[in-house]
Amino acid sequence: MVALDDAGLSATGVVTANVFASQFVNGSSLGNSNLSWSTWGWSPWFQEASTTHDGISAMQSGHITDLQESWLTTSAVGPGRLSFWWKASSEPGFDFLELYLDGILQEQVSGESGWIRKVYNIPFGTNTLGWRYAKDPDTLAGQDAGFLDEVKFDAGVWLELAAPPVRGNVQLLAHGIIGHNYALQGSTNLIDWSVVTSFTATNTATILIDSSTNQTRFYRLRDLSAGGLALDTPKIITGSVQLTFRSPAPITFAVQSSTNLTDWLTLGTLTNNTGIVSYVVPFSPSGRQFYRGKLVF
């Protein structure tokens, strides 16, 4: 290479560039054939059966020397949850097995770690996942490698208990798409559902609390985004029925009633500008009434 400065002086030197071609990896060795895998670096990852978590097979980082690295990569479309088992056998504190999400280091392990299970929430969109084993300038210890096994990715929106219930308080962890509006609904019989709370997902995990639980209760998430509309369980208040609707704002819909779920009568039209709006109709003791909101386009 020839370099030229502003004064016109030049210098010549030799520059060495390392170009690595990625190689396809069969995901069955990781217990996962749903993701597409590739490996690259100074030496590729490879399948082996002597150091595994599931007792069948695992992936081991390539045989590298000082200041070299070996990569195993894939991509996943979120939101979703990634879980895997990994193990390092290396110089502690210097040669690391690392996890990267979209190029950002998430965690690293070194030394004789033993098998460790990790779980990560994967955000919305297409995400690149990379496991790297990298060495410092000197010293070899253990098997001088990183190992990966039983990789699992579950896509979708879901709920889970954040902690065991305490004195009627239930703490839930909701995993949703950032920017989407959701209603957390609860039921004691899986038939009648009521809204516990509504929220907008600002990250991939949101803590929700239900403090009104004193019996077995079921929960579900309802996505209110993209025109979604939810109706709380109607409440009878002094001879009237209060209907509470939840939706993204602003949205316009017709409030309708029926006695047979076939013929619907429009009672009025509402525009929800705040995310929650109520509509009151007279209570009719003569027979069963059904209610719904129908979007107006």
- Encode pLDDT of 257-274 as tens digits: 998 888 899 999 988 888
Residue 64 in contact with residue 133, Cβ under 8 Å? yes
| Mean per-residue pLDDT of the chain | 86
What confidence tier does 21 reach under pLDDT thresholds 50, 70, 90? low
Q: What is the pLDDT of residue 226?
A: 58
Q: Mind listing the domains of the chain with CATH numbers?
A: 17-155 (2.60.120.200), 157-226 (2.60.40), 227-297 (2.60.40)
For the chain, the C-alpha Rg in angstroms (whole number) is 28
Q: What is the pLDDT of residue 60?
A: 97
Summarize the confidence of residues 93-106 as an average pLDDT. 97
Residue with tokens 């002094």: 238
Quick check: helix, strand or coil at residue 28? helix
Nearest of 161, 180, 147, 199 to residue 78 by alpha carbon: 180
Distance from C-alpha of 86 to C-alpha of 184, rounded to nearest angstrom: 35
Q: What is the DSSP string of 157-183?
A: -EEEEEEEEETTEEEEEEE--TT-EEE
What confidence tier does 47 reach under pLDDT thresholds 50, 70, 90? very high
Q: What is the DSSP string of 98-115?
A: EEEETTEEEEEE-SB---
Q: What is the pLDDT of residue 239?
A: 85
Residue 296: C-alpha distances to residues 182, 230, 256 (Å): 21, 15, 12
Residue 106: C-alpha distances to residues 53, 193, 210, 223, 282 (Å): 22, 39, 32, 29, 57
Q: What is the pLDDT of residue 50?
A: 95
Question: For the segment 53-99, what is each residue's pLDDT rounded down to a tens digit?
Answer: 999 999 999 999 999 999 999 999 888 889 999 999 999 999 999 99
pLDDT at 19 over 60: no
Residue 295 in contact with residue 227, Cβ under 8 Å? yes
Angle at 66 between CA 95 and CA 109, to 5 degrees: 10
Distance from C-alpha of 43 to C-alpha of 69, rounded to nearest angstrom: 8
Distance from C-alpha of 108 to C-alpha of 168, rounded to nearest angstrom: 39
Nearest of 201, 175, 202, 170 to residue 186 by alpha carbon: 170
* Cα 279 from chain centroid (whole Å): 36
Among 112-126, 156-170, 274-288, top mean pLDDT goes to 112-126
In percent, how much of the chain has pLDDT > 70?
90
- Amino acid type, 145: A
Summarize the confidence of residues 105-113 as an average pLDDT. 97
Question: For the segment 174-232, what is each residue's pLDDT rounded down to a tens digit?
Answer: 988 777 888 898 888 888 888 888 888 877 678 899 987 677 889 998 887 756 777 88
Q: What is the pLDDT of residue 237?
A: 86
Residue with tokens 């000082």: 66
What confidence tier does 130 reach under pLDDT thresholds 50, 70, 90? very high
What confidence tier does 1 reach under pLDDT thresholds 50, 70, 90? low
Handedness of CA 68, 72, 75, 81 (dihedral sign): negative
Q: What is the pLDDT of residue 213?
A: 67
Residue 197 in contact with residue 159, Cβ under 8 Å? no
Residue with tokens 């690149």: 128
